[in-house]
Structure 1
Amino acid sequence: MSLSSPSPSSGKIALVTGAGSGIGRACALALQAAGYSVALAGRREAPLLETAALAAPGGGRMLVVPTDVGQPESVQALFAAIRSAFGRLDLLFNNAGANAPGIPMEELSFEQWNAVVAVNLTGVFLCAQQAMRLMKEQDPRGGRIINNGSISAHAPRPDSAPYTATKHAITGLTKCISLDGRKYNIACGQIDIGNAATDMTQRMTAGVRQANGSVMVEPRMDLRHVSDAILYMAGLPLEANVQFLTVMATTMPFVGRG
């Protein structure tokens, strides 16, 4: 765990999981530049330190906490570090995600299924649970949770049973957090992202398999559009909430997929 030197900030505190690359890194840096102090969580310390090193001068502080979100003890240690460093939490972006090999579901192993569920669903639950405990105790009370649902929360790709099942489950969990968090002034929304330009989606530039068996190059969008959407959702007063937001490459195969 490491903490950068203090700098002026808005005073708000954010936690981003999966902050070592891609969407998590982009959103963590956008929040930090906007004045949030940001806790960076992810399994590997080195990529988190790389994210922290990209912090904007004059922005918020960066706290690096290596974390396995699928393990209760690791998540508890993460929130203990946040309490110690900042004393509160205003925003949780549940972004960490994992996938299984793109093979027929009848060939998936139990271990492959469980690995995806542990990160994509159990990890979101564990982090949201700890965030709600902290947010309802702090003064002023309340905060915001944003879950990364993905386009797969609506429509599957071929051979994506673990990923799609967990992302559909995130929609139900988001609704439960929204309902159960009301009495504590905790808002919860979901962002569903389609084909943001990250290392994970680089394969789409060479073509990916479609529902009809064909292989097609898919368009991608600039990652900045995702971080802009997160800043918008995060910046609302707690009396307002974006329950669900979809941001996607305009011409990607989604509406009418399959």
Structure 2
Amino acid sequence: MMSSGVIVAVGFQLSGGDSQMNTLIWYSWLGGVIIGTMIGANSVLEEHCKAGPRNVVITGSTRGLGKALAREFLLSGDRVVIASRSPESVLQTINELEENIQEGLSVAKKKQRETLLHAKVVGTSCDVCKPEDVKKLVNFARDELGSIDIWINNAGTNKGFRPLVNFSDEDISQIVSTNLVGSLLCTREAMNVMQYQEKGGHVFNMDGAGSGGSSTPLTAVYGSTKCGLRQFQASLLKESRRSKVGVHTASPGMVLTDLLLSGSSLRNKQMFNLICELPETVARTLVPRMRVVKGSGKAVNYLTPPRILLALVTAWVRRGRWFDEEGRAVYAAEADRIRNWAESRARFSFTDAMEMYTENTWVSVFSLSVVCAFIILSSSGGPLPGT
């Protein structure tokens, strides 16, 4: 944006204060914004649509955000391995997601139907704290999918909001083992596989409260694990500089899941009304970005500054959005929310693509539009103002 602003400023200076010229510059700049954004969004749409089926592994994916991510990848025609500690939960989730796929196929149009036909969901039980379980998960994924394109370390836990002195030994051990040790083990095994694949692969670790080093009172254990993951990410980036494996972070923001709501107070819930979102809403934003990620060290975030600003501006109308004044949930159950999901909402849209559009490309279009303004004016038959 800075380069675009510099060109506009130079244009105003060269115009010599001529109002007609200044107006032309403004309109050209605005036209560049519109045209550049449209071109970029269309490019992102094409890239997303051309991206073939991905082979995806998601830990902690039988509920909450993990389950929503799995569903969203399936919507894109990908092949997904889900994993959880409980074999019963894995089986139940597979059945639910397969039903979703069949419902989608029954109402999908031709192009979307062709996409959904590629979708496949399988799963196995896995305790990410146990190295032998993680190795079994990797072998299961390779047997079922052939290769692994994307691995998402989503498994995580928290034990409510309370001071550290009130956490038991078991609570602390489980939080650290699942959130930090589990991510370390899974990342190691995923990278061991991906580094020998022709196209490499991508590993995502999930950010959370405390990732940036800020304090997390009443969730000190959870926050320390997330801060540790950020350091882990920085170290991995240097270790894997010449690797074919990309290591990234995904930040879902605040999501209405059991992990967030466990032990939350009435005051917490009133705050959740402002900045929290449902798992499927967050997944719809994160998955398209994960599918087309390139290189390494990318941060795929849901709660961006514009979204935070929007939440603050619309705070009044967001009151009672998820919880009433007494803290009772007023949002629909998951089964009701996703009923007929393939029919009720469009797939990856032009608006979604615009959110993915990077700044650098359309800055060039802004600049080009201003240059064109000078060309048009100079060819109109008269000298430039101030010359």
CA distance, structure 2, for counterparts of residue 86 and residue 177 of structure 1: 26
Counterparts of 1:48-127 in structure 2, within 5 Å, are: 48-53=90-95, 54-55=97-98, 56-57=101-102, 58-127=117-186
What does residue 272 of structure 2 align with?
218
Residue number among 4, 9, 14 corresponding to 2:56 in the alignment: 14
Percent of residue pairs identical = 22
How do 1:67-216 and structure 2 match up within 5 A?
A: 67-138=126-197, 140-154=198-212, 155-202=214-261, 207-208=266-267, 216=270
1:40-67: CA deviations, max 9, x gaps?
0111122222322223242421121100
| Distance in 2 (alpha carbons) for counterparts of 1:108 and 1:151 | 18
CA separation in 1, counterparts of 2:289 and 2:54? 14
Q: 1:244 to 1:27 in 2, by over 3 A?
A: closer
- Classify 1:240/1:145 alpha carbon distance in 2 versus 1 (closer, same or farther; 3 Å): closer
Alpha-carbon offset, residue 172 of structure 1: 1.3
- Name the SS for the 1:24 alignment partner: helix
- CA spacing shift, 1:203–1:126, aligned 2, 3 Å: closer
Report what 2:68 is aligned to. 26
The question of whether the paired residues in 2 share the 8 Å contact of 1:16 and 1:28 is answered with yes
Residue 203 and residue 20 in structure 1: after superposition, are their counterparts in 2 closer, same or farther (change >3 A)? same
> CA distance change for structure 1 residues 244 and 175 in 2, over 3 Å: closer, same or farther?
farther
Contact 2:286 2:300 in 1 (8 A): no
The AA in structure 1 aligned to 2:133 is S
User: Runs ≥4 in structure 1, deviation > 4 angstroms?
Assistant: 202-206
Aligned to 1:166, what secondary structure does the other structure show? helix
Structure 1 residues 101 and 199, CA gap change in structure 2 (3 angstroms): closer
Letter in structure 1 aligned against 2:125: P
> RMSD of aligned C-alpha atoms?
2.6
- Alpha-carbon deviations, 1:61-119, whole Å to 9, x = none? 11211000001011011111112222211001110001124332123233221111110
The structure-2 alpha-carbon separation of the partners of 1:71 and 1:91, relative to structure 1 and needing over 3 Å to count, comes to same
Contact 2:202–2:245 under 8 Å retained in 1: yes
Distance 2:243 2:285 in 1: 24
Partner Cα distance (2:164, 2:151) in 1: 32
The question of whether the paired residues in 2 share the 8 Å contact of 1:188 and 1:243 is answered with: no
Quickly say closer, same or farther: Cα 1:181–1:32, change in 2 above 3 A: farther
- Count of residue pairs brought into register by the alignment: 238
Q: Is the partner of 1:133 in helix, strand or coil?
A: helix
In structure 2, how many angstroms separate the alpha carbons of the residues matched to 1:104 and 1:201?
Answer: 16
Task: Identify, as 1 or 2, the structure richer in helix.
Answer: 2
Structure 1 unpaired stretches of 5+: 1-8, 210-214, 253-258
Q: What is the letter of the counterpart of residue 192 of structure 1?
A: S
Q: Is the 8 A contact 2:159 2:263 kept in 1?
A: no
Q: CA deviation at 1:190?
A: 1.1
Q: TM-score, normalised by structure 2?
A: 0.56
Q: Which runs of 5+ in 2 are unaligned?
A: 1-50, 103-116, 313-387
Structure 2 contact 54–291 (Cα < 8 Å) conserved: no
Q: What's the CA shift for 1:34?
A: 0.8
Aligned match of 1:5: none
Deviates more, 1:68-77 or 1:143-152: 143-152
What one-letter code is carried by the residue in structure 2 that aligns with 1:111?
E
Which of the two has higher C-alpha Rg?
Answer: 2
In the TM superposition, what is the alpha-carbon distance from 1:147 to its structure 2 partner? 1.0
1:145 maps to amino acid: V
TM-score, reference length from structure 1: 0.82
